[in-house]
């Protein structure tokens, strides 16, 4: 049909369709160019709309003891300092020298004690208190009752630039950990709800990203960490093998409605169930991601090496050479989230 015979409405529809096709083609070209050249310019991200469903919770993982294995659960109670029982226990070398004066000692993690990855925890509640069980090949299983906070000594503990408090879990678990680690002066501490948490705004490096009122248990920085399955799939494809999500240790894993990886970078605020979450910062990654999460053995330069090719946050010097993978979050209120819950933007 000659153009002169088309109505103005038909011409407008054709123009919109042509524009959409061109935009789609450009988006595909930019995506595949990005795969071929990680340094190529990224297309401008168009954020989700308010109240848009941007994903669903694929899994929830609790890490009861800092730097040992996690436990996958179907639901978790969100408290202001993190999930209930997530990173509430910590292992400390009381003879360690890399801790400020007046604190209980130097905390241990996988970088300092790689074999901690071989400890499997289990959790149960009895009479309103948590019972932690630790298992490791070659060692007797041990059960640790949550210590009574009432009347117990509060020990100041320093973790990544901020101080909180913990309660000693007793001599029995200390002896078990001493045998496992080979450190005679090692102790375990528990952060009960009634003891002082770490106050994130006090962090001299990252405190400025907070709203001024966020607290955290013994997690590195924030109460919650989220990664998407799409981001893990992308970096696995780039390094040429399936990587375990446990290398990145998030406690919320989301299946995004978008097939594009790293969309979580742009989720400034969102809701899961009735709980609002907001980003404090993106998560810069360290050499712990290069370790087998079940053995603690270093498996090579990946995924850190490849992430550094295209995921460095050059706009903020505080990240330095730590590439980005995942986001660190705080919650607006307390509540419960479950596997399968929708993630709603805004």
Q: What is the pLDDT of residues 262-319, one digit of tens each?
A: 999 999 999 999 999 999 999 999 999 999 999 999 999 999 999 999 999 999 999 9
Encode pLDDT of 164-206 as tens digits: 999 999 999 999 999 999 999 999 999 999 999 999 999 999 9
- Compute the mean pLDDT over every residue in the chain, rounded to the nearest whole number: 90
Encode pLDDT of 72-82 as tens digits: 999 999 999 99
Q: Which helix (H) or strand (E) holds 31?
A: helix 8-36
Q: Which pLDDT score, from 0 to 100, does residue 128 have?
A: 82
Q: Is the peptide bond before 216 cis (omega within 30 degrees of 0)?
A: no
Q: Is the pLDDT of residue 33 over 70?
A: no
Q: Are 114 and 297 in contact (CB under 8 A)?
A: yes
Beta bridge partners, 187, equal: 92
Q: Is the pLDDT of residue 27 over 60?
A: no
Q: What is the pTM of this model?
A: 0.86
Q: Are 311 and 233 in contact (CB under 8 A)?
A: no
Q: What residues contact residue 255 under an 8 Å CB cut-off, 6+ apart?
A: 55, 56, 57, 58, 228, 229, 230
Q: Is the pLDDT of residue 247 over 90?
A: yes
What is d(CA 293, CA 128) in angstroms, rounded to the nearest whole number?
A: 31
Inter-CA distances, 138 with 141, 282, 294, Å: 9, 39, 15
Q: Are 54 and 257 in contact (CB under 8 A)?
A: yes
Q: Are 286 and 324 in contact (CB under 8 A)?
A: no
Encode pLDDT of 331-342 as tens digits: 999 999 999 999
Percent of the chain with pLDDT strictly greater than 90: 84
Encode pLDDT of 209-244 as tens digits: 999 999 999 999 999 999 999 999 999 999 999 999
Q: Which helix (H) or strand (E) holds 58?
A: strand 53-62
Inter-CA distances, 312 with 214, 283, 296, Å: 26, 11, 25
């Amino acid at each position: 049909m000659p153009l002169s015979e088309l109505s103005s409405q038909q011409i407008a529809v054709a123009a919109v369709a042509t524009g959409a096709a061109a935009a789609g083609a450009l988006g595909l070209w930019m995506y595949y160019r990005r795969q071929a050249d990680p340094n190529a310019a990224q297309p401008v991200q168009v954020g989700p709309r308010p109240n848009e469903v941007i994903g669903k919770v694929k899994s929830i993982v609790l890490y009861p003891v800092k730097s040992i294995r996690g436990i996958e659960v179907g639901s978790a109670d969100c408290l202001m300092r993190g999930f209930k029982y997530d990173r509430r226990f910590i292992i400390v070398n009381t003879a360690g020298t890399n801790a400020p004066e007046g604190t209980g000692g130097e905390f241990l993690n996988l970088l300092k004690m790689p074999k901690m990855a071989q400890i499997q925890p289990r959790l149960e509640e009895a009479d309103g208190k948590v019972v932690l069980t630790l298992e490791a090949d070659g060692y007797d299983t041990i059960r640790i009752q949550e210590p009574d906070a009432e009347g117990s000594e509060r020990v100041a503990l320093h973790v990544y630039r901020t101080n909180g408090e913990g309660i000693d879990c007793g001599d029995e678990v200390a002896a078990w950990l001493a045998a496992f680690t080979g450190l005679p002066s090692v102790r375990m501490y528990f952060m009960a709800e009634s003891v002082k948490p770490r106050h994130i705004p006090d962090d001299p490096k990252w405190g400025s990203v907070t709203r001024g009122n966020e607290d955290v248990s013994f997690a590195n920085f924030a109460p919650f960490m989220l990664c998407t399955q799409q981001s893990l799939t992308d970096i696995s494809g780039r390094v040429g093998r399936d990587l375990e999500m446990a290398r990145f240790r998030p406690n919320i894993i989301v299946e995004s409605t978008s097939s594009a990886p790293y969309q979580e970078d742009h989720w400034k605020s969102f809701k899961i169930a009735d709980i609002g979450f907001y980003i404090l910062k993106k998560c810069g990654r360290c050499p712990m991601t290069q370790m087998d999460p079940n053995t603690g053995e270093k498996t090579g330069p990946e995924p850190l090496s490849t992430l550094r090719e295209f995921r460095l946050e050059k706009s903020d010097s505080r990240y330095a050479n730590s590439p980005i993978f995942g986001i660190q979050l705080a919650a607006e209120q307390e509540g419960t989230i479950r596997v399968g819950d929708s993630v709603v933007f805004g």
